[in-house]
Amino acid sequence: MSLSASGRRRVAIMQPTYLPYLGYFELIAQSDLFVFLDDVQFERRSWQSRNRILGPSGELMLTVPVKKHAQDTVLREIRVSEDQPWREKHLATIRHVYAGRPHLGEVIDLLEGALQVPARLSNLNFAIIASAAARLGLTTPMTMASAMNCGGRRSQHLLNICRTAGATEYLSPTGSREYLEADAVFAGAKMPIRYFAHEPKPYPQGRPEFTPYMAFIDAVANLGWDGTAALLDRG
């Protein structure tokens, strides 16, 4: 595993989520390797299968339907349900919500291709995120945790991924700080953790007040790929 010019290899690990918020892409931008945590249990009503966009009357939730599965099924094994035309519905909702926004066409161009990935939810999310990251000018290598065959639970699993990836530092969202410090696995292994916090930057949304933490396509519809890329703190 190669190091950066500074000798650092900063690894970030996140579950592949559906239409993630801009902070997700900042995490990618600030890492030297980004690992999709697809070997953990699927959680219903989580960001793994849904996210929010901003409609004229407020927030709207877009949810990917999945097939029935056992409660302990891991994310990589979750299959998308094709019992309803959810792709067409999501695209129709996005077209309606962002009608008149200057860069709606750039959103549709991305999703018409990326949404066609079949079968597994994690692969669908990966396709969307990787395609969006490329359009945002991000070049961070990405991989799936399931391809690394690392054992362990919770913090130990994350540490094992970092070790396998040759990390010199783990980049973690601040929301994980409490349990990481409680587990003390990284401290015991002397693996440094750098905590990441996204600070939303307001941009025009066609509404009087700015609403942060929407799916990234909200920014793209309003600013385009170049304008959205300019919002990202690349560390």
Q: SS in 3 state form for 152-176?
A: CCHHHHHHHHHHHCCCCEEEEEHHH
Task: Please name every residue paired with 59 in a beta bridge, in sequence order, or none if there are none.
Answer: 54
> Is the Cβ–Cβ distance between 225 and 106 less than 8 Å?
yes
CA distance 85 to 17: 20
Note the pLDDT of residue 220.
Answer: 98
Tell me the two tokens of residue 15.
């579950």
Say if CB 18 and CB 125 are below 8 A apart.
yes
pLDDT tens digits, one per residue of 214-233? 999 999 999 999 999 999 99
The pairing of beta strand 142-144 with beta strand 169-173: unpaired
Q: How far apart are CA 37 and CA 143, in angstroms?
A: 9
Q: How far is CA 48 from the centre of its chain?
A: 9
pTM, 2 dp: 0.94
Quick one: tokens of 102?
Answer: 């200057």
Residues 86, 47: Cα–Cα separation, whole Å: 17
Question: What is the phi/psi pair of residue 171, to 5°?
Answer: -100, 115
- Which of residues 85 and 56 earns the better pLDDT score? 85
Rounded mean pLDDT of the chain?
Answer: 94
- Residue 199 CA to residue 116 CA, distance in Å, equals 32
Assign 6 a pLDDT band (cuts: 50, 70, 90).
Answer: low
Q: How large is the average pLDDT for residues 78-92?
A: 95
